[in-house]
Structure 1
Amino acid sequence: MAKFLYALLLFIPLIATAQKNGYDFKEAEAETRKLVYTSPDSALAIIKTTLSQKGKLHDTILGNTYNLYGLYFGMTGNADSSVYYFKKSLSYIDDYPKNRLRSLMNLSIGYRNKGDYKTSIKYLNEALKVSRKDNNKVGIAMAYGELASNYNYMVEYDKSVDYLLKAIKILKAENNTQQLAAIKQKLANTYLGMENFKFAIDLYKETLAEFKEIGMEKNYYLTLINLGEAHIRLEQYDKAKQSLQEAVQGLERFGDKELIGITYSKIGNIEKIEGQTDKAIASYQKAFDYLTETKSTRILRIGGEYIDLLNENGMYGKALGIIAEAEPYRKTIYSNIHDRMVYVKAIADTYSHTGKPDKAIAEYRNTIAIKDSISASEAQAAVQEIQAKFQTELQREKNLALEANNKALEQKIDNEQMLMLIYILGSIALISIILFVLRSYWLKTKLQKEQLKNTEAENKLIKQQHEYEQQLVSAQKQTIEEKQRELTATTLQMANYQTHINTIIKKCSTNEVALTDVKRELQLLLKQRDYWKQFETRFNSLHPDFEKKLTDRFGRLTKNDVEFCSLLKLNLSNKEIASLLQISHESAITKKYRIKKKMEIADDEEFDRLLLNL
């Protein structure tokens, strides 16, 4: 009730908008159709809002809305109400084939849920006529699917498989994946009934993924219930529990008490097998309460299982209570022959242990009669069942082989695509490398050419510089030599003046010359320059660092020693130096010797080379 109120509050703005700006019936129908499978209470709120609109509504609006009303009751497990509204829907849409087809199909499902398979098949045959007349192939396929479900409940598996294979063929040709999932679920149900559990499990797993993808939640949870049953039959109880518990949690949102009850009965069956008696009784009690509340066709079968559980544990009084609740449905509710046998045998055992032999005998007789009926029908269908199982297993093998082949093809395609991608990437990489190498070679060649040009230019420049330097050195050498010659000449001239003076002095000593002549010659000499000072100036201009380098390197040398070395650097002989300095030739040799000693040089060649290089 709280959910309904909440959903109604959500759609109050929609009602206000409808009254103010006009109601969008098409959008409301689309939203309802989406919600009815996931949130039935929200769908009901829109249905009531649509029907409450003022003015005369078009027949298709009323027909479609009542059809959705019937779907709501079908989702919540109220088969009687669903049948009522589906019939009401049909009264508005006689002239609209597609709408009529939808309501006919839903009406047939409603009757099947009530256990009235004959009436259900009647409406499905009418749906087939409408579909064929309208050339609606998908409609034909869905009618085949619902016929198969009826025959499955009626334990006529050969007819069920036949209709399902026809439906699958049509839907594959039409590429209708959504409806194909529902048909595959029905085929799995048939294989479950034929005890081909492994193939049933394979199909259930496929359809679970498909229902989840397309958002058909109710079908998803219904499939989980059947998957749980298949696992139970294969004694895979943990897997069965997992599926069934997920189904119960999901179905609570839909409020489908019949399906919830069926699910609890299967959980109770597992708990019974595992020896959890108290839990099994609690689960079966929940299942029985839900089923009696909805007047389900499964009351007798699940009631019989519950009574058997109570009998096994000596709880005969409680078993009688369950029988009392179930008996009124024995005549009013249709159930198949196998379900009736389970119930009759269980109550016969209860009567036998509670001192009611007459009732026990009567029910045992009923049990024998039902078994005989089952045996007769089974004997007649035994060969067909064996063939069906063989065909089923063969089909399963073919499906597995086809699946493996498809995977191999997909893998091959993936590999080819990967190879193509690798080839393309490799080609791009190779072209890139080639372009890179060519560009590198081009750049290298260009760089080499530039370097060659630069080298040639540098070589030319160096050659020019070398020639210039040679010219400069030659000019400097000529200048130095000229200055050297000039300096030497000056020096020799100074030596000549000294000799001249000495000659005058000698004349004076021998009285060979008159005094006036001496005076005249001396006056002439006085008019001359200071030639030694002139020598020093010119020598320093020619060899500016000679004195400094010599004194820095040989600190013991005096100024006279430096002057003597200056004369030696001019490559003057000892005799010329002696004449210039007015000393004897031996004194010049002695002075040179002393200077070499101060410089700690013994070899004359080394001494001359040192002075020359300074």
Structure 2
Amino acid sequence: MKYIFYLLIFFVSFTCFAQRENEFSKTIKDAQRLVYKQPDSALVIVKRVLAKPNLPDTIYGSMYNIYGIYYGMRGNNDSLIYYQKKSISYLDNYPEFKARSLANLGVGYRNKGEYNTAISTFNAALEINRKIKNDTGIAVDYGELASVYNTMGDYEKSINLLISAIDIVKKDKKQDKLPALQQKLANTYLAQRNFKFAIDLYMDCLPNFKKMGQLKNYYLTLVNLAEARIHLEDLSGAKSALAEAIKGLEDFGDKSIIGISYGKLGNIEEGLGNHAKALASYKKGLELMLQVKSNRAVRVASEYIGLLNKDKNAVAALALAARIDRSGLFENSPNEDKMFYKKAVGDAYSNNNNESAAIKAYQETIVMKDSIAANDRQTAIGEAQAKFETELQREKNAALQANNKSLQKTIEAEKTRRWLYGMGILAIGILILLALRGYFLKSRLQAEQLRTIEAEKNMIQQQHLHEQELTNAQREIIDEKQRELTSTALRMANFQDGVMQIIDKCNTGEISKMSDLKKELQTLAKQEDYWKQFETRFNNLHPEFGNSLQHRFTKLTKNDIEFCSLLKLNLSNKEIASLLQISHESAITKKYRIKKKMEINDDDEFERMLTEM
């Protein structure tokens, strides 16, 4: 009976403990689910659990981890780091949980711009996950490391890490980590200015984030989607995405991301011609970001200063620059943000007639631009720099050898003079030697300065030539597409001529049987729809032409716009008449009616307007 009693007590205790563990496990899952879409509700659960005494270390570690994530959702990176460190202190004996908290700790460091610390933290988490063979954890760590390298401008490392992470996740049946990795990959392509591919990836991520309840990631993706659309001049689409993002982000209270969103909205409003709204958006966004000391405030500030420079308001622009400099955010900002900021500050100094400060800012801009130049230029620049340094060192060695020979001759001469003239002549010789040495050093310094100036001049010329080559290449592509479009238009005219020939054959009696007519029509039907090809290719070459023309001249019909498209290709009235199967006089009359709708009388003005549209 005694043993039975002890067994009964043990069984009851074990059952209660198991029930408590199951209860906590469910509570942790609820909090983890809510923190990404209803962070305040998750915080209530965390506080309620932590108020209970004598909890297991895993519960303390998990709860403080969620506590840190909560502050990460709010954009408070200092609190995120504090609670993740507290979480880690309970998890030394639980490697999987510790690796997870280390990864979240790295996110906090990355958001603060402390990239080296972030990399070492993610690598620590990666080492643990490799030891315990946690493939999902490895994929997550790869993704977070990729985000750091993306921000630092090392896109090759970022893409390689993300591809490895995606390969790992695709082996998992759930694949619940895949949308986040696709989002990070899209961010890297966005940074590389591959906007169309980035948009495709963002559009794939959005429904998955919404379905999984990861609303913060959903709104962040909308912000980046808006950025890509801005670059593709889809301002209405970008504005719509930002409006939804800002409204949703208000629930999370992340002032840094909301500030970035308002900065992008300012960019859009300026593009739409709403200058006052643009200034207000930039001001609001920058104030939010400075409140939380976001390192991305430097980019928003550079665009805000650019608008103030446009208004010739140098005083306000320089006051804003001084505020950014005092904040200490510049040093931990991405290199590209620093470059744009220095360029804007240089323009502000120039508007304020402070040319020396402007030149200094422009020089710093050139240095930063060179540091983030394309990889294909980096190799060439490195080789040129190495060659320059080799030549410079060779010149220094030759100068030193010549100097040594000169010194040896001088010493020998001094010995002879010392023997002949004594100590007095020796003193004069030393003075002459010192004077010669000073002159030589001064001459060499001037020569070094001239070589440095010449090297900088050559580098700037090379940069100018590279940019000119890119411009010429783009112009050649546009001309080629224009020729292709014109060719398509003329082939379309030939197609329509074929239709008219069949009609003429019917009228002259060459085709009298229905079977012959059917055969002719079938042959003609197999040809391509050139007008549809023309319309598609014209829209690819001039995507905004039709919409801009319709918006500016509301009286124009669809046929009028199609007629204007042919005029934009510099087709003659005769060629257009042949293409549209109308008379030459009808083409002239059509052109006259269109000019009348546009209220334009002068032919030169009409052609210039179509060319510039």
- 1:33 equivalent in structure 2: 32
Using the alignment, how far apart are the partners of 1:276 and 1:100 within structure 2? Answer: 50
For the residue of structure 2 that corresponds to 1:211, the secondary structure is helix
Of 108, 111, 114, 1:110 maps to 108
Aligned match of 2:198:
200
Summarize the alignment of residues 125-274 of structure 1 with structure 2, pairs less than 5 Å apart. 125-274=123-272
The separation in 2 between residues aligned to 1:275 and 1:318, in whole angstroms, is 21
Aligned residue number for residue 305 of structure 2 = 307
Alpha-carbon distance in 1 for matches of 2:48, 2:59:
12
- SS at 1:178's partner residue? coil
More displaced 10-residue stretch of structure 1: 74-83 or 28-37 = 28-37
What SS does the corresponding residue of 2:177 show, helix, strand or coil?
helix
CA distance in 1, matches of 2:379, 2:98: 37
Select between 25-34 and 206-215 the one with higher mean Cα deviation: 25-34
Aligned partner letter, 2:289: L
Q: Hey, what's the Cα distance between the residues in 2 that align with 1:382 and 1:212? A: 46
Cα offsets for 1:183-235 (capped at 9, x unmatched): 11111111111111111111111100111111111110011011111111111
Alpha carbons of structure 1 residues 22 and 96: separation in structure 2 relative to 1, 3 Å: closer
Alpha-carbon distance in 1 for matches of 2:21, 2:184 = 42
Change (3 A) 1:23 1:51: farther
Partners of 1:87 and 1:378 in 2: how far apart? 42
C-alpha distance in 2 between matches for 1:289 and 1:272 = 19
Q: Distance in 2 between matches of 1:352 and 1:248?
A: 35
Cα deviation digits, residues 393-427 of structure 1 (max 9, x gap) = xxxxxxxxxxxxxxxxxxxxxxxxxxxxxxxxxxx
Q: Residues 308 and 193 of structure 1: is their aligned pair in 2 closer, same or farther, counting only changes over 3 Å?
A: same
| Letter of the 1:303 counterpart | A
Say yes or no: does 1:82 pair with 2:80: yes
**2:41 — aligned with what?**
42
Alignment RMSD (CA, Å) = 2.1
Question: Distance between the aligned counterparts of 1:259 and 1:171, measured in 2?
Answer: 28
Once the two structures are TM-superposed, the CA of residue 330 in structure 1 deviates from its matched residue by 4.1
Whether contact under 8 Å (2:139, 2:164) holds in the other structure is yes
Aligned position for 1:325: 323
- CA separation of 1:322 and 1:57: change in aligned 2, threshold 3 A: same
Could you give the per-residue CA deviations for residues 83-142 of structure 1, whole angstroms, max 9, x where no partner exists? Answer: 111111111101101211110110111111011111111111111111111111111111
- For residues 218-257 of structure 1, give each alpha carbon's deviation from its aligned partner in whole angstroms, at most 9, with x where no partner exists: 1100110111111111111111111111000000001011
Matches of 2:141 and 2:282 in 1, distance apart? 35
* 1:155-554 correspondence to structure 2 within 5 Å: 155-330=153-328, 333-375=331-373, 379-380=377-378
Query: Secondary structure at 1:177's aligned position in 2?
Result: coil
Contact 1:74 1:110 in 2 (8 A): yes
Q: Distance in 2 between matches of 1:154 and 1:382?
A: 21
2:129 maps to a residue whose letter is: S
- Gap change, CA 1:303 and 1:123, over 3 Å in 2: same
Provide the secondary structure at the position in 1 that maps to 2:176.
helix
Q: Which is worse superposed, 95-104 or 23-32? A: 23-32
Structure 2 CA distance for aligned equivalents of residues 244 and 104 of structure 1: 32
Alpha-carbon distance, 1:68 to partner: 0.8
Contact conserved, 2:295 with 2:329, CA < 8 A, in 1? Answer: no
Distance in structure 2 (CA, Å) of the matches to 1:108 and 1:202: 28
* C-alpha distance in structure 2 between counterparts of 1:317 and 1:49, whole Å: 53
- Where 1:170 maps in the other structure, the secondary structure is helix
Distance of 1:357 and 1:262 partners within structure 2: 31
Q: Is 213-222 or 328-337 further displaced after alignment? A: 328-337
1 CA distance for matches of 2:379 and 2:45? 49
- Give how far 1:382 is off: 9.0
Task: State the one-letter code of the partner of 1:49.
Answer: R
Deviation of 1:376 after TM superposition, in Å, equals 8.0
Partner Cα distance (2:206, 2:329) in 1 = 37
**Partner of residue 422, structure 1:** none
3-state DSSP of counterpart to 2:40:
helix
Partner amino acid, structure 1, of 2:27: A
Name the count of aligned residue pairs: 362
Deviations, residues 490-539 of structure 1 (Å, cap 9, x unaligned): xxxxxxxxxxxxxxxxxxxxxxxxxxxxxxxxxxxxxxxxxxxxxxxxxx
For 1:39, the aligned partner's letter is Q
* Shift in alpha-carbon separation, 1:350–1:378, aligned structure 2, 3 A: farther
- Native 8 Å contact 2:295 2:330 kept in 1: no
- Please state how far the C-alpha of 1:333 moved relative to its aligned partner: 4.5
Residues 434-465 of structure 1 show CA distances to partners (whole Å, capped at 9, x for unaligned) of xxxxxxxxxxxxxxxxxxxxxxxxxxxxxxxx
1:28 positional shift:
2.8
TM-score by length of 2: 0.57
Per the TM alignment, residue 59 of structure 1 is displaced from its structure 2 partner at its CA by 1.1
Cα distance, 1:340 vs structure 2:
0.6
Aligned twin of 2:50: 51
Any conservation in 1 of the 2:84–2:104 contact (CA below 8 Å)? Answer: yes
Tell me the distance in 2 between the aligned counterparts of 1:35 and 1:188.
Answer: 26
Larger radius of gyration: 1
CA contact (8 A) 2:259 2:287 kept: yes
Alpha carbons of 1:317 and 1:207: their partners in 2 closer, same or farther (altered >3 Å)?
same
* CA 375–168 in structure 1, closer or farther in 2 if over 3 Å, else same: closer
Q: 1: distance between equivalents of 2:280 and 2:178?
A: 38
The superposition leaves residues 293-341 of structure 1 with CA deviations (integer Å, 9 ceiling, x where unpaired) of 1111111111111101111012222222311221123466401221111
Structure 2 equivalent of residue 386 of structure 1: none
Separation in 1, partners of 2:31, 2:95 = 21
Matches of 1:333 and 1:24, distance apart in 2: 47
- Write the distance in 1 (CA, Å) between the matches of 2:255 and 2:204: 26
Identity of aligned pairs, percent?
Answer: 49
Aligned pair in 2 of structure 1 residues 106, 241: CA closer, same or farther (>3 Å)?
same
Deviations 1:6-45 (A, max 9, x none): xxxxxxxxxxxxxxx9994333322221221111122222
Structure 2 gap ranges (5+): 1-19, 382-613
Aligned to 1:586: none
Distance in 2, matches of 1:102 and 1:332, equals: 30
Note the C-alpha offset of 1:263.
0.7
Q: 2:559 corresponds to which residue?
A: none
In structure 1, runs of 5+ residues without a counterpart are 1-20, 384-614
Letter aligned with residue 37 of structure 1: Y
